[in-house]
Each structure stands twice: as structure tokens, then as C-alpha cells.
Structure 1
């Protein structure tokens, strides 16, 4: 079992010194990864389920933050939870992700992508909300095609993206691909994870039975697509105060990584919470 930690700028603030200190603390405590969320824009009345999002919530760009974090750390892997893939052009995104991976020496390896749940956000960037799932599928294919392509260039003709003989360099650090995990709370997301993803990271307040159905659906979809379901990673959110027994329950469900959040917004409280978690799960190195 691996353990990551999330850093939400709406909760913790946008102070760069605090972000860097938190990332170094997470690395010191043995967490394997740091994850940041994304919203490109908000607006009055934006609803996520029954919750109205205050439009002044300060979401920093996650990839810019992760590049910043990579300069302040040495080992911790960099992740998103989630990057709103349909709202990014994959040709430009392939370059940005490869850049972060190169500058971090191969640590941009926990990209999790989702579709976004705010129609106004899709409209703001010129994306049809109803077709964003198909757009995301194409974007995943384009990212992988560009990373794997050579000096002769690669071509693509799809519903949303089309190009001829493109070359995208540099490649990711010592690789021709980056793992892409799929986030979401729907069976469509689970199928997407199985067909195209390297892992599934479900969110939301799902009933345990529905979670089990979705994970099995991801595995079945992988097998139907000729992929090995055993290679799929399974990430879930946990709590910073969860007992060791809870991790055992996760493992029994096939979970390979748990991502937690610090409840404290102050440095001393965060150190206390992260250190206690690390000791409880044996993450601290002698």
C-alpha cells in the first residue's frame, strides 16, 4: 500500500512558502506523492451536488504548482486529483506534462484526469459539456501518441482533434509515456479507466456496493480492451486519522494507494498530523 497526500489551495491558501514547506514535510514523512486539484474558473451559483462553490475559492494551476514543488523536493511523486482534461488542448498539454516530468527528473507520474462537473466552466473554455467524455477519450489518445512519436512525426484525425506529422520533444524523462489515471464517480469513468487508463481514482460519496461495482467494471473493461487488469492501480481517498485496520480494508478491496488530506491549515498542526500518520503506518525511515 502506498500513501499520498493532497494539497488544496482553497483550503490551505496560496502562500508559496507554505506550499513548499508542506511538500518537504510530506516527503520527510515518507508520503510517496503530492496531489493538487484543478478548477480553471468558477462563477456565482456553481454547484457540485448540493454544495455551492464560493466563486472566490483560489485554485492555483496544478501543473505550475507541481513544477514549483519539484524544485523544493527531491523524491516525492507529483500528481493531480483531478486535472480537467477536456478543458486542455492535448497538444499543448503533452508539452506541459513532459516539461514538468523532465524538470522533476521523472516524478510527474501520477496524473489523474477527470471531466469536470460545472457546465459553466466548460462553456467558459468553449467546450461542449455533453461531449466532454468523448473529448477526454481523444485527448488521452493524443497525449500518448505525441509522447511516443519520433522525428518522422505522428498524425491524428478524430472528432475533436486533427493534425499531421507533428513532433513533440522533449519526451518525458527517460520514457516515451506517462501514466494516466482516470478519476470520477461514475460507471463511465470506470470504463474509461479500464479501456485507457493506468489506474482508477474514484471520488464522491459512493455507496460501498457501487464502489465495488465500478472497480470490477474497470477491470472488466480493461480485459475487454485486451489490457491486463492486474496492471491497473486503484487509488482511494482516506482520512488523516484513519487506523491501520482501515488500510487493511482498503487493501482487501484491491486498493494500491490511499490519498489523505491534512485537516489543519497551520504548519504546526500539519506537522503533527502528517508525522502521526507516518508513524502509524511505518512510513518514516530510520
Structure 2
């Protein structure tokens, strides 16, 4: 099992020194990666399910913030949970992600994309909310095509994106592409993960039966697409209070990575909470083994 941690600026704040201190401590503890959420804009009355989001919540741009974190750290991987893919142009995004990956020496490796659940957010960036799933599918294909292309260029002709002979450099650091995990809480998201993703990261408000169904759907979709379903990573949310027995139960369900939320909001208490978790699961020892 691999363990990552989430930093949510709406609840922890946007002070740059605090963000760096959190990331550096997470790295020192041995966490594999650090995740950040995204909302591009909010508005009065915006709700996700039963939860209304105060419009003044300070969501930073996650890619800009992860690049900032990368400059202050050495090992920790960079993740999004989730990046709202339909609201970004994939030609520009492919360049942004490859740039962060190159400058961080290959650490932009926990990218998780989602569709977004706020119709007003889609309207603000000129995207048809009903078609955002198809748009995301094309965007994944476009980015992978650009990363794999050579000096002769690549072409794409789809419903949302259309171009000929485009050349995009630099390439991701040391590999042909950047892994793309798919987040969401729907069966469509599970199928998308199987058809196109390197992993599936479902949301937290699902019943155990629905979780099993969605994981089966993801694996079946991968096999139907000629992909190896065993290669599909499976990420879940967890608390820093999780016990070793509960981690074993997650592993038995096929989970390969847990992303923990830190309950404390005070910086000192946050560091203590991460340290206690790291000690419980000997994260620093595992990180030293990986480095060796």
C-alpha cells in the first residue's frame, strides 16, 4: 500500500510558507505524494450534492501551486484530486503538465482528472455541461497523442478538438506520457478509468456494493479495450486515524493507494498528525527503501 496526503487550501489557507512547510514535512515523513483539489470559479448557491460551497473558499490553481511545491521539495510526487479536465484546453494542458514533470524531474505522476459537478462553473468557461464527459475523453486522447508525437507532428479530428501536424515539446521526464487517473463517483467514471485511465480514484460517498460494482466495471472496461485490468491502480480516500487492520481490509479490496486527509487545521497539529501516521505505518523506512 502507498500513502499520500491531501492539502486543501479552502480549509488550510493559502499562506505560501505554510504550504511549503506542510509539503516538506509530508516528504520528510515518507508520504508518496501530495494532492490538491480544484475549482476554477465558485458562485453563490453552488452545491455539490447536499453541500453548499461558500463562494469565497480560496481554491488555488493546483498546477501553479504544485509547481511551487516542487521547487521546495525533492522527492514527493505531485497529484490533483481532481483536476477539472473538461474546463481546460488539452493542447495547453499537455504543455503545462509536461513542463512541471520535467522541472520536477518526473514527479507530476499522480494526476487525477474529473468532470466537475457545478453547471455554473462549466458555463463560466464556455463548456457544455452535458457534453463534458465526451470532452474529457477527447482531452485525454489529445494529451497522450501530443506527448507521444515526434518532430513530424500529430493530427487529431474530433468533436471538440481539431488540429493538424502539431509538435509539443518538452516531453514528460523519462517516459512517453504522464499517468492519468480518473476520479469520480459514477459508473461512467469507472468505465472511463478502465478505457483510458491508469487508475481509478472514486469519491467518498459510495456504498460498499457500489464500490465493488464500479471497480468491476473499470476492470471490465479495461479488458474490453484491450488493456491489462491488473495494471489499473485503485486509489481511495482515508483518514489519518486509520488502523493497520483497516488498511489490510482496503488492500483486500484491491486498493493500491490511500490519500489521507489531515483533520487538524493548526500547522503544528497538522505536522504532529502526519508524524503519528508516518510512525504507525513506518513510511520513512519505506521511502528510504524506495530511494535505495
* TM-score bracket, shorter-length normalisation: over 0.9
2:252 matched to which residue of 1? 252
Q: Secondary structure at the match of 2:284?
A: coil
Paired positions, count: 286
Ranges in structure 1 where 5+ consecutive residues have no aligned partner? none
1:151 matched to which residue of 2? 151
Structure 2 Cα separation of the partners of residues 231 and 50 of structure 1: 35
The reply to whether residue 283 of structure 1 matches residue 283 of structure 2 is: yes
State how 1:1-286 maps to structure 2 within 5 Å. Answer: 1-285=1-285
Q: Deviations over 1:36-58 (max 9, x none)?
A: 00000000000100111000000
> Structure 2-normalised TM-score?
0.97
Structure 2 Cα separation of the partners of residues 280 and 212 of structure 1: 28
Report the alpha carbon displacement of residue 119 of structure 1 after superposing the two structures with TM.
Answer: 0.1
Q: Deviations over 1:103-146 (max 9, x none)?
A: 10000001000000000000000000000000000000000000
Report the alpha carbon displacement of residue 150 of structure 1 after superposing the two structures with TM.
Answer: 0.2
Report the alpha carbon displacement of residue 222 of structure 1 after superposing the two structures with TM.
Answer: 0.2
Structure 2 Cα separation of the partners of residues 15 and 178 of structure 1: 29
Q: Secondary structure at the match of 1:235?
A: strand
Q: Secondary structure at the match of 2:58?
A: coil
Which moved further from structure 2: 276-285 or 78-87? 276-285
What is the Cα-based RMSD across aligned positions, in Å?
Answer: 0.7
Report the alpha carbon displacement of residue 33 of structure 1 after superposing the two structures with TM.
Answer: 0.3
Which moved further from structure 2: 112-121 or 268-277? 268-277
> Structure 1-normalised TM-score?
0.99
Q: Deviations over 1:68-116 (max 9, x none)?
A: 0001100000000000000000000000000100110000001000000
Structure 2 Cα separation of the partners of residues 156 and 284 of structure 1: 45
The runs of at least 4 consecutive aligned structure 1 residues that moved more than 6 Å come to none
Report the alpha carbon displacement of residue 284 of structure 1 after superposing the two structures with TM.
Answer: 2.3
Q: Secondary structure at the match of 2:134?
A: helix
Q: Deviations over 1:21-40 (max 9, x none)?
A: 00000000010000000000
Q: Deviations over 1:183-226 (max 9, x none)?
A: 00000000000000000000031001100100011000000000
Report the alpha carbon displacement of residue 176 of structure 1 after superposing the two structures with TM.
Answer: 1.8
Report the alpha carbon displacement of residue 178 of structure 1 after superposing the two structures with TM.
Answer: 0.5
